[in-house]
Chain A
Amino acid sequence: MNFSDFIKDNIVILDGALGTQFQAKGMPAGKSPEYYNLEDPALVEGIHRGYIAAGSDVIYTNTFGANRVKLGSSEKVNSIVRAAVDIAKRAAGGKFTALDIGPTGALLEPLGSMTFEQAYDVFAEVIKAGSGADLIVIETMSDLAELRAALLAARENSSLPVMCSMTFEEGGRTFTGVSAEAFALAASPLADVIGVNCSLGPDKILPIMKRIASHTKKPLFIKANAGLPDADMHYSIGAERFAELYKDYLKMGVNILGGCCGTTPEYIEKIRAMCAGKTPKKRRVKVPAAVCSASQVVYLNRVRVIGERINPTGKKAMKEALIKGDMGYVAARAIEQVEAGADILDVNAGVPGIDEKATLCQMVKRIQAAAEAPLQIDCGKPEAIEAALRVTHGKAIVNSVNAEEGSLNSILPIAAKYGAAVVGLAVDERGIPCTVEGRLENARKIIRRAKALGIPESDIYIDCLTLTVSAEQNQALNTLEAMRRIKSEYDVHAVLGVSNISFGLPSRGAINSAFLTMAMQAGLDLPIINPNIPEMMTAVRAFNVLTCADKGCTEWVEKYAGASQPVAAEEVADKDIYYYISKGLPQAADLTREKLNTMQPLQVIDELLIPALNRVGENYEKGVIFLPQLISAAESAKLCFEEVKSRIKGGGIGKGDIVLATVFGDVHDIGKNIVKTVLENYGYNVIDLGKNVPPQAVVDAVKKGNIKLCGLSALMTTTVENMKKTIELLRAACPDCKIMVGGAVLTAEYARQIGADKYCKDAAASARYAEEVFANI
């Protein structure tokens, strides 16, 4: 019988800890037990046999850390994994063998520096070498990105069933912040069985398992620790009680049981005995409609706002940022929308002529590093959608499929594979139907086809299409009626881009917010809007109050009751711009506005703002003021520059473009971010490539923008090597670009050695050097 059939009707007993057994047999601290597969196969086989004798139906191979990152080479992985599978099969005597895969030990972007693709390759190698096992188990994960890389590697390099589990802290989140619910939502589509291992004792895991169980229809497994260890590594829960605690798991329908750290064959025997005569309890679950990032679940149990601003269509600055690769701009728009109240962020890379697939992936990665909101991948190209879904950590939305055959056949299978929700546009090759019935027909077709691929109704978001009311006035009500009817026929959700309604009319905001309110009343769950427009968010929040979604009007009051103002700045007469900037006060902007009445914009910059900033910089260097004050001053100067920009035709001050990056291998970017803030507030346009940036990516950005100044940061001696590589490449490809460097381990001497033009010891020094470089151009 194969494993997938076996788990349907049986209570399945896994094995207990391997490491604990090796330690008991005298393994030295710090040794990788995987080497025993080659050095002492009899020892490994003996431990496996102990578990089989104790009653295990499944034994895990001795391969937890058998990956290239930990073992050092692919050859080792290959020989060790193959040997491990052979040993396990010999010991199993017809029972199941599971290829055991643990974390790489390194961390994926954005928390660490390993890329998704690198992690995928590391896992794929193990999976190919372990193809002789009966199933694959991915366990003890704490990062959702790494778990997904392993799951996809398993799915795409093997046809074996896949179990996966994460390790949680007591609050039900992993070390990296993945919640139990997000794990269940994001892993279920890619795994056959999901569960919890390691973490804590069975008693403490129970509430976490309940949360997972309510968010997945997949079979569940538990492999808990024997409680907590004391200083001498004695665990707190004995075998008898451990097995007793598992009774609660059987009651909730968890039918696959084993042990992790601290458990031994005795524990397995007791679990086997406890399960005697029992049969698995069938689980009945209605998974709530939701999308998620790694750390945040957004339930569709009330109106949720999708922010539309990360889309270059009709937005010049966004378009330019995408062309230049300025992902810092994209990240800032993400944060701005979340601050304004967006629950989900739409991500669109549709600029003609750019590599949409690569850009979309870059955007997803950078937005995930900056904001925790779940994402909506807004793209019509199947290949780009799939690439973006691979690197999206949680459960995303695909925007969109329509009722055309080509669209249905290419996009729905991708959404189904990754478990994404999908927006269905009620349009087909004939265009937007002008009748309610026509839209419903298209919607029904999409729903039918999506369900045939296993996408549940609750993950289908129908868009009944907003038309411009000034052109087709009667269509507004048709849109709403179609929405009302499709929701009464199916358990689907409704999504709608709202702002188009008012195109070509004066006072668009009023029409938009009125239409939004009408649409919400007609059943709109997911308005796609600009959350930065206060009237739109007010309409949503008011709707939540009036429909009892905002219980006790708490959120409304919190938002609008006039949050206490910061202590009023001291009243001072006749202060100059320097005073306001140096104190970080917003009045600097008022004074700038005043000065602009009598002075030319560039004169204001050169004669007032830059000298003020220079003085602040000097004071910082002298130790008269400190880093937070320098930053506050830069922030208030930014407001002044914005005033000036608003007076200049086209909005550009044109002081020049500067590329900034934290070098490859380095994720410490606080220094680079400080430099960025300061340079921007001196009026430069900073193209922020982020952290962990490969040398070639820096070169590409410098070339593309014909950049004259590039700043690189590195924290440690280990990453200064990559700074040197980046400089070498830059010198060869872009000889007239000046390079400034900074970071904790750098010195002027060191900077010279690696070929930089300038060592800047802090942000003020960077600004001074930039002045120098651009003065000479």
Chain B
Amino acid sequence: MGVKGAPDPATAALAREAEGEVQKYAKLRSIYRLFDIQVDEEAGFVLLKEAGVKLEGKHLSRHLRDCKRAYLIAATLGFDMERRVNYLMQTRPALGVATDAMCTSALECGLDELCERLEGECGSKLKTRFSCGYGDFPLSAQKDMVNLLDTGRKIGVFLSESMMLAPQKSVTAVAGVTDRAEQIKGGCENCAKGDCAFRKENK
């Protein structure tokens, strides 16, 4: 919501109300699949072996350079949440924008929890999730992600011709499985997209 520092009481109350909305209307659904991968950093792609699908992008291949396996992940908060946000935007816009922001955060938390679970499942660490649109990982790769995970049938996530996911609060991502003890850092400081509006300021 753009809040920097501690919010005033009214904003804090609004955030609590938004949280209630998310708890009531969001239904987190996720799907994932583990692939053996081959990374070609030089050519700039990651090959999902069983599928014969190449995910293009120098940044992605650098990010996954020491991985042999990677999870494809998709998650969504569902259409009920989307309809509720639309409704609030018409009836109580302030709560609407707060809830919209809360959704984004809830979805990220849900994905964090999922990744923790997957770490338990595969017995290794996972790298930071990497999504279409990060660096030079093209939006068009959404099509393969959605197709390979069968998201329409499994969790109700659909892709438009312009590569947008519906519901709007949905995410697809690649999470590399790493055997190295220390994790390569993700986050803004390692992203090449310097013109991003959401880039966190350097402290």
Seen from chain A, the residues whose Cβ lies within 8 Å of a Cβ on chain B are: 28-31, 69, 103, 105-107, 111-114, 140, 142, 167, 174-177, 198, 231, 295, 331-332, 335, 339, 369-370, 372, 583-584, 623, 626-629, 631-632, 634-635, 665-668, 670, 673-674, 677, 715-719, 722, 744, 747, 761
Contact = CB atoms under 8 A, between A and B. Distances in A.
Nearest to B152: A105
B197 interface: yes
Contact of A674 (B80, B82, B97, B121): B97
What 3 A-B pairs have minimum CB-CB distances, sorted nearest first? A175-B156, A665-B162, A107-B158
A549 B163 CA distance: 48
Given A339-B91, A628-B98, A747-B195, A113 B160 contact: yes
Contacts of B146: 105
A509 to B, nearest CB: 26
A69 B159 CA distance: 11
Contacts of B167: 111
Given A69-B161, A634-B93, A673-B93, 5 more contacts: A111-B167, A177-B80, A584-B94, A632-B10, A668-B164
B85 A112 contact: no
A345 B158 CA distance: 29
Given A29-B50, A111-B79, A674 B160 contact: no
B90 interface: yes
A113 B83 CA distance: 15
Contact of A369 (B86, B164, B195): B86
Nearest to A629: B11
A167 B139 contact: no
B93 A674 contact: yes
A9 B157 CA distance: 40
B2 A30 contact: no
B79 A718 contact: no
A776 to B, nearest CB: 29
A260 to B, nearest CB: 10
A176 B156 contact: yes
A112 B1 contact: no
B47 interface: no
Nearest to B89: A673
A670 B89 contact: yes
Nearest to A261: B153
B189 to A, nearest CB: 20
B8 to A, nearest CB: 8
A175 B164 contact: no
B200 interface: no
Contacts of A370: 86-87, 90
A504 B152 CA distance: 57
B160 A106 contact: yes
B188 to A, nearest CB: 15
B35 to A, nearest CB: 8
B79 A175 contact: yes
B149 to A, nearest CB: 9
Contacts of B94: 584, 628-629, 631-632, 635
B57 interface: no
B4 A716 contact: no
Given A167-B153, A331-B90, A176 B79 contact: yes
B153 A335 contact: no
Nearest to B99: A628
Contacts of B133: 716
Interface string B1-35: 11110010011001000000000000000000100
Chain B: interface size category = 35 or more
Contact of A30 (B51, B80, B97): B51
Contacts of B14: 628
A106 B147 CA distance: 12
A335 B90 contact: yes
A666 B163 CA distance: 9
Contacts of A114: 160-161
Given A106-B160, A715-B164, A718-B163, A332 B90 contact: yes
A666 B93 contact: no
Contacts, number: 145
B52 interface: yes
B93 A635 contact: yes
A30 B147 contact: yes
Contact of B3 (A583, A626, A677): A626
A623 B4 contact: yes
A140 B168 contact: no
A626 B195 CA distance: 22
Contact of A716 (B1, B10, B48, B164): B164
B191 interface: no
8 contacts: A31-B51, A107-B158, A111-B166, A112-B158, A175-B78, A628-B11, A628-B94, A722-B162
Contacts of B90: 331-332, 335, 370
Nearest to B195: A747
Contacts of A670: 85, 89, 96-97, 100
B70 to A, nearest CB: 14
A28 B49 CA distance: 10
B114 interface: no
B148 interface: yes
Contacts of A744: 197
Interface centre among A175, A623, A747 (most CB of B within 10 A): A175
A372 B100 contact: no
A335 B158 contact: no
B93 A623 contact: no
A29 B148 contact: yes
A111 B82 contact: yes
B53 interface: yes
Interface string B132-147: 0100000100001011
Contacts of A107: 158, 160, 166
B146 to A, nearest CB: 8
Contacts of A715: 164
Nearest to A567: B13
A327 to B, nearest CB: 13
A627 B51 contact: no
A30 B53 contact: yes
B166 A626 contact: no
A142 B167 CA distance: 13
Contacts of A174: 156
A142 B82 contact: no
A677 B93 contact: yes
A677 B82 CA distance: 19
B106 interface: no
Given A584-B94, A673-B93, A177 B158 contact: no
Nearest to B158: A107
Contacts of B52: 28, 30
Nearest to B147: A30
A627 B2 contact: yes
Given A626-B3, A631-B93, A667-B166, A717 B139 contact: yes
Contacts of B85: 670
Interface centre among A103, A112, A665 (most CB of B within 10 A): A112
A107 B152 CA distance: 10
Contacts of A674: 93, 97
A177 B91 contact: no
A30 B91 CA distance: 43
A295 B86 CA distance: 15
Given A30-B53, A335-B91, A627-B97, A112 B4 contact: no
Nearest to B93: A631
Interface centre among A331, A623, A631, A716 (most CB of B within 10 A): A631
A631 B4 contact: no
A674 B93 CA distance: 8
Nearest to B156: A175
Interface centre among A167, A584, A627, A716 (most CB of B within 10 A): A627
A228 to B, nearest CB: 11
A667 B168 contact: yes
B164 A140 contact: no
A107 B165 CA distance: 9
B11 A335 contact: no
Given A111-B79, A628-B14, A665-B161, A30 B148 contact: yes
A103 to B, nearest CB: 6
